[in-house]
Amino acid sequence: MSEIATQLAGAVGAGNLLTGDAISDDYAHDEALSTPVQKPAYVAKPATAEEVSALLKIAAAEGIPVTARGSGSGLSAAARPVEGGLVVSFERMNSVLEIDDGNHVAVVQPGVTLAELDAKTAEHGLTYPVYPGELSASVGGTVGTNAGGMRAIRYGITRGNVSGLQAVLATGEIVRTGGRMSKISSGYDLTQLIIGSEGTLALVTEVIVKLQPRLPHSATVLAPFDDFEQVMAAVPKIAASGLAPQILEYIDNMTMAAMVYNDKLELGVPAEIRDRTQAYLAVALENRVADRLGEDVEALGELLTELGAIDAYVLEGGAARKLIEAREKAFWNAKAAGADDVIDVVVPRTAMPQFLAKARELAMATGGGAIGCGHAGDGNVHLAIFCKDPDTRAQLLTDIFGYAYELGGAISGEHGLGRTKTKYYAKLEDPAKLDLLRRVKESFDPAGILNPGVLFAQTGK
């Protein structure tokens, strides 16, 4: 065992350190499509913040790059390690420490999955409403990427649903930020700064998440439209209606066809309507009172047809659940169909038609394609990119992201930049802002050990 491995084993116990061939391929990647795998030199599985602190002190002293890992379900390779680096895997820090009914928060370790958290909160009639497709995602991972998901239109993203953290700095200090309250104005908000920092500022060892009442009644309405512009014009009207949709998704006709085929969906949409449909809106409502839900579903149906929907189909329990589950799996369908990358650009929602038209045009000009679905209420467009040649694809993505910038948007709405999108960010973002961000990074991580190559293009390191 090398001298460094001995030190790391001392921090977490020999049984919780992997080196060499003992490191399985799982640790060499996440679910990003477009990045080569890379095994780390070490995988450590700490059980406490103190052990994480000990690991970071060794890494800082020895100059070892550190990559945090939750479930490995990320889509931008932020959890893909660096050659010779250390993966800190939070698989053993997987306890829901407390469901605090009085303050409506849960205190959880980063390795807890969203599915586990949902099961625990359900026992209290509460829910953590952040709902990215992948429920095997770890809470720590969703904090790292500032995950969003389908319910963001109603409940917001991770950023709005986390009130405090415990985190270990690159220098080994353990700090607590925020607390069991939603409201603090006492110094800079480190909670917010760490959320979405993709493991580049600190390693999160505990998360305080806000919980909401779990409403008992929900329904989903599916509305096919002839025309994508009409879909997009409908979105602000639905948002302004006061019906407060929990989910407001668009699904283009090709993506819906793939979902129907792969997931054997029975949506009750007749073939002649499917054939003329360019895109669908799926709108979920929820309510505390069953009667109100029924009334709202009716009002929504009327509103949708007024706004140009060909029809509005109320999906019964099973069909609605299957549709949402299929939507969650859209990434896997894209992967199975041979997509070369997935992107999740965000633009002001009124700019979605322009953005989509241009992205498709750019993709088709390369001989490839771009199909997808997205969080219509949030302007968050998920596209599967089909374009085999890496250089052509890099130029295509530069052009697509560049157009998103022109429209006032950003490269990623919820996946993060990771290793796959950082190079575009370095090219497209305002240099004055990048300089500032780099100074902020240095104020946290002077030795540059935390996830080098993520958010900031690597400079010779």
| Residues 276 to 305 in contact with a second copy, rule: CB under 8 A | 288, 292
Stretch of residues binding a second copy (CB under 8 A), selected from 6-14, 21-29, 232-240, 251-259:
232-240
Contact with a second copy (CB under 8 A) among 119, 367, 408, 427: 408
364 lines the binding site for a second copy (CB under 8 A): no
Residues touching a second copy, count (CB under 8 A): 83
Select 314 or 434, whichever has its Cβ closest to a second copy. Answer: 434
Shortest reach from residue 287's CB to a second copy, in Å: 9
Residue 404 burial (10 A CB sphere; 0-12, 13-18, 19+): buried
Structure tokens at 382: 């998920």
Contact 51, 45 (CB under 8 A): no
Backbone angles phi, psi at 404, to 5 degrees: -60, -45
Contact with a second copy (CB under 8 A) among 325, 423, 429, 447: 429
Residue type at 57? K
Contact with a second copy (CB under 8 A) among 224, 416, 448, 452: 416
Shortest reach from residue 177's CB to a second copy, in Å: 8
347 lines the binding site for a second copy (CB under 8 A): yes
270 lines the binding site for a second copy (CB under 8 A): no
Stretch of residues binding a second copy (CB under 8 A), selected from 35-43, 309-317, 357-365, 426-434:
426-434
Shortest reach from residue 368's CB to a second copy, in Å: 24
Is residue 320 helix, strand or coil? Answer: helix
| Residues 43 to 102 in contact with a second copy, rule: CB under 8 A | 100-102
Select 94 or 287, whichever has its Cβ closest to a second copy. Answer: 287
Select 268 or 408, whichever has its Cβ closest to a second copy. Answer: 408
Give dist(CA 448, CA 63) in Å, integer: 8
Give dist(CA 421, CA 455) in Å, integer: 8
Nearest CA among 247, 289, 235 for reference residue 155:
247
- The neighbouring-strand residues paired with 224 are 280
Q: What angle do CA 127, 129, 133 make, to 5 degrees?
A: 120
Contact with a second copy (CB under 8 A) among 34, 67, 113, 145: 145
Give dist(CA 135, CA 439) in Å, integer: 35
Stretch of residues binding a second copy (CB under 8 A), selected from 16-24, 187-195, 260-268, 355-363:
187-195
Binding mask 7-46 for a second copy (x = CB under 8 A): ----------------------------------------
Give dist(CA 319, CA 326) in Å, integer: 10
Select 219 or 347, whichever has its Cβ closest to a second copy. Answer: 347
Strands 86-89 and 42-44: parallel
Contact 422, 457 (CB under 8 A): yes
CA torsion, points 270, 271, 273, 277, in degrees to nearest 10? 130
Shortest reach from residue 229's CB to a second copy, in Å: 12
Shortest reach from residue 99's CB to a second copy, in Å: 12
Backbone angles phi, psi at 222, to 5 degrees: -115, 125
For 269-340, where are the E strands, in sequence order? 279-287, 313-315
Select 176 or 322, whichever has its Cβ closest to a second copy. Answer: 176
193 lines the binding site for a second copy (CB under 8 A): yes
Select 315 or 347, whichever has its Cβ closest to a second copy. Answer: 347
